[in-house]
Amino acid sequence: MKAPSFFIDKKEPIIKQRLYNGRKLAVWEGKVKITAIKGWVENPRIELARKTLTRKVGDRQLTQEEIADLMKNDPEVKLMDLRDDIIKNGLREPLTMSFHGKLLDGNRRFFAIKYALETMPITDPNRQDLEIVDAYVLTQDATEKDEQNVLVEENFSASFKIEWPDYIKAMMVVDAFENGLTLEDISVKFNWRKNKVKETLKINEIISEFIMYATSMPDPNDESGGGLGLSEQEAENVAAKNYQYFNEAQKSFFEQIKTDFDFKIQFFKWIYEGKFSSFPEVRIAYKAWKNPEAKSVLMQPDPTAAKSAKAILEYNTRIVHSTDEAAGRIDSFVKFLNEMTSAEMNLLPNRSKENLEMALEIVIKMSRAVTEKTA
Amino acid sequence: MYFCSKQVFASFKRLASRKDKGKTHLERTSCLMYFFAFDATCKKMNHSLLDLNPDTTEGKKNRKAIELEFTKLVLLERSPQKIIQVTELGKIDYTGQAPEKRISSNFLTVPLKKATEQMEPYFYPRRPPTPMIKLGNVATGLKWGIELHQDWSDSLPKLLSEIKDSTPFTDLAIYVMRDTPLNNKAEDYIDALSTALNERFNPQLAKFWIQRIEREKVLAHHHILSIPFSATYQAFAKSVSDYSVNRFESLNRGVLINYIDHLESTLKANQIKFTELT
């Protein structure tokens, strides 16, 4: 079988089997010069940052250097941490590439190595450990599906690696759905439960509406004040940042978002304003919207408004509970009194009987006063 | 003027369900269409309560009127060979029975007849519990009576909640008014829809619907074409079989691209898989 051309000659590459997403694939294992590898420019991990840069520089293919800069500057990529780890410990896990040199797994590691080489003095003897790295390369007959399995295993499965951001994974699932794949197909393709795929599509439904709203221009003649006037990219960045809050909305009040238009728009405004600082605060958003007291608090610009609204709802729930509890105690006490025989009554100490009489008189008076006031 | 076929089709396909399986959307579409047909009939007859007694002249006349309104809502094209209609919003049906038959053998037979025998108020639909109309003697005072349910405005958005669309009231109104001549002096789509809805439906439904359309305006500008109207009527679901290949030879590139867009939209609306031309 023919080995890929970019392996270095010093060590003969060998072929072995590896497991990716439940599928055994034949791969070449060998050493590759880092200069022979091209980073994955289209890597979905940096999709949003790439779009932002493309808007600035125009619609052209970004260079390797531009992508490296994007990754260095994206705090979620944590490239500097990985670079420092690689300088200290070397490359712990080989890169994985397609037969034609496309980097399928290890894009972060690849750019971290390049970053390390940039910062290491040319005389540093450790440079050579990073200039030639271990790599797995899929065989020539690997299919597109095999490549997909590598991507899924390395980026959709929970592991010690930094997975792609939720929003990016969701967009890939949505893309697959819009390209006509069934829920079953998508479930297999990304190794996600069908329910998770369904939920992702519902989250996307809310996010799409958010982006539509956010990119609409403000309109003082509109009852809702119109949109937020953001660019498509700005709106998408807000959506990505708040992806898990949209997920919470999907779980807690999807039906209400779809049927109560005013609430939907208000929820979008809250998301944009950064009203929520935790999932439980998002969870109570619709209940707060329906509760005048909690709603008026939530509408305040105070940064702790959502926390206060949540506290109000919880307090109200407790009051209802304790009212129920008081009624329950009274009922059981009345039952106890009704079941008392005159002989048992006679055995009670006078002090107890007087206390009971006094308590009943007070309760009767208070109850009458409240009833009259209400009437 | 009319809504142009491209706008109607885009609105229509947005009304599809987010679910690709099950009959819920089909059932909800039927409920909505019965409800709109009933309201339009009331408006036409100037009544708020209709007697649909199959044995009286009045009842027969009302039945015919509601069947006609229902047909106007769902029928897209009819010829001796075929009926093209909507049984589920977002999808075109080329196979079903005639709309008049559909309403008479379903709604006017099953729930209406059942309501005549009930000892308790009978509301429709019962599943999901989103009452839109009251039926029968106990609920309306007439054995074959049909009347608006007081909670219809709460129920209507719930019946639309399975639709993926972000502007369902706007798109539904455009679909419903697809064949309606619009006010030539209308300033925009909201103005045109307001007039059309007021002419076709009772004031309370028209008012509610227009309010919803106005609220959806903030999202709808993403959906509404810059010129959503056409001076002449365009049937949006013309059967593909009506076109011969020769017909295309004389058409220019722009028209052909539009036609391909239209055909692709039809395939998508009916969830038929295909490879898009690039």
B159 touches chain A (CB under 8 A): no
Q: Show the tokens assigned to A209.
A: 């509406």
Q: What is the pLDDT of residue B242?
A: 44
Compute the nearest-CA separation of A269 from chain B (Å).
13
With CA atoms as reference, report the closest residue to A227 among A263, A268, A276.
Answer: A268
Mean of all residue pLDDT scores within chain A:
85
Q: Show the tokens assigned to A76.
A: 């979620």
Range ranked top by mean pLDDT from A67-81, B115-129, B212-226:
B212-226
Handedness of CA A241, A75, A280, A194 (dihedral sign): positive
pLDDT tens sequence across A210-252? 999 999 999 988 888 899 999 988 999 899 999 999 999 999 9
- Length, in residues, of chain A: 375
Compute the nearest-CA separation of B177 from chain A (Å).
23
Inter-chain touch B222–A212, beta carbons under 8 Å? yes
B129 touches chain A (CB under 8 A): no
Residue B243 pLDDT more than 60?
Answer: no
Q: What is the pLDDT of residue A174?
A: 92
| Mean pLDDT within B58-83 | 89
- Spatial contact of A283 and A252, defined as CB atoms under 8 Å apart: yes
Q: What does R_g of chain A's alpha carbons equal in angstroms? A: 32
Mutate to test the interface with B, among A199, A201, A253, A261 (most CBs of B within 10 A): A261
Inter-chain touch B214–A262, beta carbons under 8 Å? no
Mutate to test the interface with A, among B218, B224, B276 (most CBs of A within 10 A): B218
With CA atoms as reference, report the closest residue to B135 among B153, B122, B119.
Answer: B122
Residue B62 pLDDT more than 80?
Answer: yes
| Mean pLDDT within B200-220 | 95
Compute the nearest-CA separation of B223 from chain A (Å).
10
Q: Show the tokens assigned to B20.
A: 């690709």
Mutate to test the interface with B, among A259, A262, A265, A268 (most CBs of B within 10 A): A259
Q: What is the pLDDT of residue B247?
A: 54
Q: What is the pLDDT of residue B277?
A: 64
Query: How many whole angstroms separate alpha carbon A234 and alpha carbon A253?
Result: 25
Chain B residues with CB inside 8 Å of A182's CB? Answer: 20
pTM exceeding 0.90 = no
Inter-chain touch B158–A259, beta carbons under 8 Å? yes
Residue B157 pLDDT more than 90?
Answer: yes
What type of residue sits at position B100? E
Q: Where are the domains of chain B?
A: 1-16+165-242, 19-156
Chain B residues with CB inside 8 Å of A176's CB? Answer: none
Q: Show the tokens assigned to A364.
A: 């009767």
Inter-chain touch B158–A180, beta carbons under 8 Å? no
| Mean pLDDT within A260-279 | 94
Mean of all residue pLDDT scores within chain B:
86
For residue A13, say if its preceding peptide bond is cis, omega within 30 degrees of 0.
Answer: no
Alpha helices in chain A, H assignment, sequence order = 47-57, 64-73, 79-89, 107-119, 127-131, 144-155, 166-178, 183-190, 194-214, 232-241, 243-259, 261-273, 279-283, 285-290, 292-298, 305-338, 342-347, 350-374
Per-residue confidence band for B239, with pLDDT thresholds at 50, 70 and 90: very low
Of B214, B218, B273, the CB nearest to A216: B218
Inter-chain touch B216–A208, beta carbons under 8 Å? no
Comparing A58-72, A310-324, B174-188, which segment has the lowest mean pLDDT?
Answer: A310-324
B157 touches chain A (CB under 8 A): yes
Inter-chain touch A205–B218, beta carbons under 8 Å? no
Comparing A142-156, A286-300, B214-228, which segment has the lowest mean pLDDT?
Answer: A142-156
Residue B240 pLDDT more than 60?
Answer: no
Inter-chain touch A216–B219, beta carbons under 8 Å? yes
Question: CA of B159: which chain A residue's CA is closest?
Answer: A259
Bridge pairing between strands A132-138 and A95-97 = parallel
Query: How many whole angstroms separate alpha carbon A265 and alpha carbon B218?
Result: 9
Establish, for the pair of chains A and B, how many residue pairs have beta carbons separated by less than 8 Å. 49
Helix (H) or strand (E) holding B215: helix B203-220
pLDDT tens sequence across A300-330? 888 889 988 888 888 887 776 666 777 777 8
pLDDT tens sequence across A172-218? 899 888 888 888 889 888 888 889 999 999 999 999 999 999 999 99
Of A201, A227, A260, the CB nearest to B18: A201
Q: Note the Cα A76 to chain centre separation in Å.
A: 13
Q: Which residues of A touch B (CB under 8 A)?
A: 180, 182-183, 201-202, 205, 208-209, 212-213, 215-216, 219, 222-224, 226-227, 255, 258-262, 265
Q: What is the pLDDT of residue A58?
A: 82
C-alpha neighbours within 13 Å on the C-beta side of residue A10: 6
Residue A81 pLDDT more than 90?
Answer: no
Helix (H) or strand (E) holding B56: none
Q: Between these two residues, B262 and B36, which has the higher pLDDT value?
A: B36
Query: How many whole angstroms separate alpha carbon A160 and alpha carbon A142?
Result: 26
| Contacts of A217 by beta carbon, 8 Å cutoff, 6+ apart | A226, A227, A229
Helix pair angle (A166-178, A243-259), 10° resolution: 50
Q: What is the pLDDT of residue B168?
A: 95
Inter-chain touch A261–B215, beta carbons under 8 Å? yes
Beta bridge partners of B88: B91
Looking at chain B from residue 249 to 278, which residues have their Cβ under 8 Å from any Cβ of chain A? 273-274
Q: What is the pLDDT of residue B73?
A: 95
Inter-chain touch A224–B161, beta carbons under 8 Å? no
| Mean pLDDT within A11-30 | 80
| Contacts of B247 by beta carbon, 8 Å cutoff, 6+ apart | none
Q: What is the pLDDT of residue A273?
A: 94
Residue B244 pLDDT more than 50?
Answer: no
B221 touches chain A (CB under 8 A): yes
Per-residue confidence band for B268, with pLDDT thresholds at 50, 70 and 90: confident
Q: Note the Cα B160 to chain centre separation in Å.
A: 12
Chain B residues with CB inside 8 Å of A266's CB? Answer: none
Per-residue confidence band for A9, with pLDDT thresholds at 50, 70 and 90: low
Q: What is the pLDDT of residue B278?
A: 59
Of B218, B273, B274, the CB nearest to A226: B218
ipTM associated with this complex: 0.78
Mutate to test the interface with A, among B219, B224, B270, B271 (most CBs of A within 10 A): B219
Query: How many whole angstroms separate alpha carbon A82 and alpha carbon A71?
Result: 11
Compute the nearest-CA separation of A227 from chain B (Å).
6
Query: How many whole angstroms separate alpha carbon A234 and alpha carbon A230?
Result: 6
| Mean pLDDT within B232-260 | 62
Residue B255 pLDDT more than 80?
Answer: no
- Length, in residues, of chain B: 278
With CA atoms as reference, report the closest residue to B234 among B181, B192, B194, B176.
Answer: B181
C-alpha neighbours within 13 Å on the C-beta side of residue A245: 22
Inter-chain touch B222–A261, beta carbons under 8 Å? no
Query: How many whole angstroms separate alpha carbon B269 and alpha carbon B278?
Result: 19
Comparing A12-16, B21-25, B148-152, B240-244, which segment has the lowest mean pLDDT?
Answer: B240-244
| Mean pLDDT within A35-39 | 85
Comparing A257-261, A317-321, B138-142, which segment has the lowest mean pLDDT?
Answer: A317-321
Tokens 């779980």 -> residue:
A251
| Mean pLDDT within A97-120 | 88
